[in-house]
Amino acid sequence: MPPTQFFSGDMIADRRADYARMLAEGGDPVAAVELMEQALELVPDWAAGWLRLADYAERSGQPAKAVPALERVLMLDPEDIFGASLKLAVLGAAETPDSPPIRYVEALFDEFAERFDETLVDRLDYVVPQELTALILDHAASRSFACAVDLGCGTGLLGQEIRAKVTRLEGFDLSANMLSKAEEKGFYHHLARADLSLDLAASGLFEDGLVPGRADLVTAADVLMYLGDLSAPFALASALAAPGAFFAFSVEDAAADDGFVLRPSLRFAHSEIYVRDQLSAHGFTVIDVRRTTIRMDAGEPVFGILFLAERPA
C-alpha cells in the first residue's frame, strides 16, 4: 500500500484505523473489522481504508464483508493501484485476469525499490539471478554475448551476474524507482521503462532507435509471475531475439497440467506445458528446463522453473 494512502485526512477515522491495525496485528481481526467499519462511516471515499477492511474481514473469515469492500475499492480507484481485482479473483468473486493492473505493479515496485535487494537476497534467499546465469553458462561456457536485453531488470541483480559475459547490456522495467537503483550499480549500458504486457509498438522496447532482432541473449528473471498470459512478453522476446539467440527466464511452478493460476500472493504461477506451448508458438526451441526453489515466502519455499530456450538460426 503506498505510504500516502495510510491516512484518510480525518483525525478520528485515522485513530480508529490505527487501533484496528493494532488489533489485527495482535490477533483479533474481528474487532479490527468493527473499528474499520466505524472509521469508514466517517470517510466513505477512502479507498485504502476499504482495502484494510477487506484484509481484516478475510483474515477473520468474513468473505461476505471482504468482497463488497474490495468492490468499493475498485469503484473508488478504477486504475486499481491496490490490486483489488486480483484479490477478488483469489476470493473467487471475479474471473482471473490475464495480467495484473499496471498501476498496481508499478506502485508495488516503486515502493519496494529501496529495500528490494536487502529483502530478497538477505531475508528471502532469492537465488534466481545466480541459478539462471549458471543455466546459461552451462550451455555457453565459452560464448560471449554481443547484446543482452534484461526484461524486468529490477535493481539489476541479474545484470550483476551476467555482465562479464556481455558486451552491451540493456535493462527494461516498469518501475522508475527500480531503474534508478539499477542505474546506480553501473552494470547496464542502456536502461528504460517498458511494459511487458503491451504489444511491440507500445511496449517501449524499441524506442530511441533500438531495433528488433538486436539481442543474442534475452532474460527475464522473476518477472513473469507478475503476468498471467505470457503471449505478450514472449512476443516481445521473439522480436528482440536474433537468430541463434538464447532466451532465459524463470516462472513460479503451478504444479498443474496446463495453464496458469493466480495465487494468494497475487503472483501468477505457470505450468511447464503452458510455457513450452508459448515458446513454440513464438519461435523458440527449449534447450533446458530446471526446477528449483527460487526464494522463501512467509517461511515456506516458493518452487519455480528455469527455462533456457533458443531462437533457431
Q: What is the pLDDT of residue 125?
A: 85
Return the bridge partners of 192, or none: 172
Whole-angstrom distance, CA of residue 294 vs CA of residue 5: 31
Identity at 270, one-letter amino acid code: H
Give the β-pairing of 300-310 and 285-297.
antiparallel
Return the bridge partners of 305, or none: 251, 291
Return the bridge partners of 296, or none: 301
Instruction: Output phi, psi for 259, to 5 deg.
Output: 75, -160
Q: How many CB atoms lie within 10 A of CB 172?
A: 27
Give the β-pairing of 300-310 and 241-252.
antiparallel
238-283 per-position pLDDT tens digit: 999 999 999 999 999 999 888 999 999 999 999 999 999 999 999 9
Which three-class secondary structure state does DSSP give residue 255?
A: coil
Render each residue's pLDDT in the chain as its tens digit; 313 residues: 444 456 888 899 999 999 999 999 999 999 999 999 999 999 999 999 999 999 999 999 999 999 999 999 999 999 999 999 999 999 999 999 999 999 999 999 998 888 888 888 777 888 999 999 999 999 998 899 999 999 999 999 999 999 999 999 999 999 999 999 999 999 999 999 999 998 888 999 998 889 999 999 999 999 999 999 999 999 999 999 999 999 999 999 999 888 999 999 999 999 999 999 999 999 999 999 999 999 888 888 999 999 999 999 8
Q: What are 54's three cell numbers?
A: 477487506
* pTM listed for this prediction: 0.91
Whole-angstrom distance, CA of residue 132 vs CA of residue 198: 25
* Contact assessment for residue 69 and residue 53, using Cβ atoms and an 8 Å cutoff: yes
Q: What is the pLDDT of residue 247?
A: 98
Whole-angstrom distance, CA of residue 128 vs CA of residue 116: 14
Report CA torsion sign: 311, 229, 118, 155: positive
Identity at 174, one-letter amino acid code: L
Distance of CA 219 to the CA centre of its chain: 15
Q: What is the pLDDT of residue 161?
A: 95
Domains of the chain: 3-95 (1.25.40.10), 112-310 (3.40.50.150)
